Amino acid sequence: MRTRFAPIIAAAVPMLLIAACSSNTEKIESKASLSQAKSTQGASPSSAKGHAAEAGSAVSLNNLTWDVPPGFEAQEPSNPMRMAQYRIPAGKPETRDGELAIFFFGEGGGGETQANLERWAGQFKQEDGGDPMRKAALDSWRTAAGLKISTIDLSGRYETAMMGAPSMNESGWRLYGAVVEGPGGPWFLKAVGPDDLIASSRPVLRALLEGLRGGE
């Protein structure tokens, strides 16, 4: 009996050792990943994609640095095109929250400024069926850091059907968007939400834009 089962036992021992080693390796990797995630979350300024930074902290991604506005809640970006995403709380149960998304498509990517402003405007249908760009408030200036900012402010029915994102069909919504040009850019910031919420958030959004600077 002892002789018959000896080879089987001998063969089983290495397999058990491999399984044990594999389990230990997974635990070590899991702990390492958790440790790395905690280390990243604590970084300031942050260089982590989807970093859940606290309000007022600086975030640096893809050669751009910004300060998280007070009251804005960082979220995991809903698609790969977004390098950061924030919820703009409405503060009212009956009102939907707004959203700020920050996009980057690689240096020199994303298209011309005017084309992007027109594309965003086209997502806000007007009651009279008119050209939304004729209703849009446009502005352009340079920050203290030398970045060129081009903004658009427009309200209407927000309609989108983009791949990888939920379709939208919301009346009485507002857009406050910006194309940011500078070394390593451009970058695109798009805030959307109920008209009153985005309108009241404009000073905060403007302050965010004015405080933009190169990666730190």
The residue extents of the domains of the chain are: 1-41, 58-214
pLDDT-derived band at 57 (thresholds 50, 70, 90) equals confident
Cα-based distances in Å from 139 to 75, 152, 153: 28, 7, 9
Closest by CA to 186, choosing from 115, 132, 98, is: 115
Please check whether residue 182 is in contact with residue 122, taking contact to mean a CB–CB distance below 8 angstroms.
Answer: no
Question: Which one-letter DSSP state was computed for residue 86?
Answer: E
pLDDT for 187:
98
pLDDT tens-place string over residues 23-37: 443 333 333 333 333
Name which CATH class applies to 58-214.
mainly beta
Residues in contact with 87: Cβ distance below 8 Å, sequence separation at least 6, in sequence order: 72, 73, 75, 97, 98, 99
Pairwise CA distance, residues 14 & 82, whole Å: 47
pLDDT given at position 162: 63
The DSSP line for 133-175 is GGT-EEEEEE-TTS-EEEEEEEEEEEEE--TTS--EEEEEEEE
pLDDT in tens, 143-160: 999 999 999 999 999 998
The answer, as to whether pTM is greater than 0.85, is no
94-141 tens-digit pLDDT: 789 999 999 999 999 999 999 999 999 999 999 999 999 999 999 999
